[in-house]
Amino acid sequence: MYMKRLIYFIVITLFICSCDKNDKDTSGSIYGIVSDKSTNELVAGVNVSLAPGGKSTVTGTDGSYNFLDLESGVYTILITKESYNPEKKEIAVADGKRMEGHFQIERIPAILTIDKEALDFGENTDLNTLSFSIVNRGYQTLKWSIEQNCSWVKEIKPANGTLEHSITETVTVVIDRDKL
């Protein structure tokens, strides 16, 4: 009985060992961490897109991202986040391989945006004051000033200032209609 069990065990073991293993991993993956180029801090909330395939994700609080179950081939990764320059790179993925795709992204310097392209005082003679807003969309403090070279502009307030990141300031323009 013991011998019969031993032979049975050996036959089963040989059968298992001799089987053709088709368990080869036929997919790969890409993982990486996104950090700030100037501070080396990890950057959360970065949009990470993969082409071809159209997959996308967002980095976690630790700056990491991951794309799983990718077919072999060359992929382009595009990294975007507001206030940062976009970055992209190509990574070749092979079956069963986990490919590394770390990025260091660079902040955009101070950027001044204005909410109006023009101030239209129109024909209404009672209208002599209009305003617009400016915003610093960059990451550095922005010093700004408005130079006036029109005799009909009576006052700009404030005419200069300093804006921190993401701060909005309203600028008022007063005109003298008699000088138009």
Q: What is the pLDDT of residues 137-179, one digit of tens each?
A: 777 788 899 988 889 999 999 999 998 877 899 999 999 988 8
Closest by Cα among 52, 180, 45 to 124? 180
What local confidence, expressed as pLDDT, does residue 21 receive?
47
What local confidence, expressed as pLDDT, does residue 113 receive?
83
Structure tokens, 157: 């307030």
What local confidence, expressed as pLDDT, does residue 87 receive?
96
Look at the alpha carbons of 36, 38, 39, 40 in this order and tell me if their dihedral is positive or negative: positive
What local confidence, expressed as pLDDT, does residue 26 receive?
77
pLDDT band (50, 70, 90) for residue 180: confident
DSSP assignment string, the chain: -HHHHHHHHHHHHHHHHHS--------EEEEEEEEETTT--B--S-EEEEETT--EEE--TTSEEEEEEEPSEEEEEEEE-TTB--EEEEEEE-TT-EEE--EEE-B----EEES-S-----S-TT--EEEEEEEE-SSS-EEEE-----TTEEEEESSEEEE-TT-EEEEEEEE-GGG-
Closest by Cα among 130, 123, 179 to 152? 179
Q: What are phi and psi of 2, to 5 degrees?
A: -65, -45
What local confidence, expressed as pLDDT, does residue 25 receive?
65
Average pLDDT over residues 38-64: 95
**Contact (Cβ atoms closer than 8 angstroms) between residue 44 and residue 63:** yes
**Contact (Cβ atoms closer than 8 angstroms) between residue 101 and residue 30:** yes
Structure tokens, 57: 């994700």
What local confidence, expressed as pLDDT, does residue 7 receive?
56
Q: Can you name the residues that pair with 7 across neighbouring β-strands?
A: none
Average pLDDT over residues 13-37: 73
Share of the chain above pLDDT 70, in %: 86
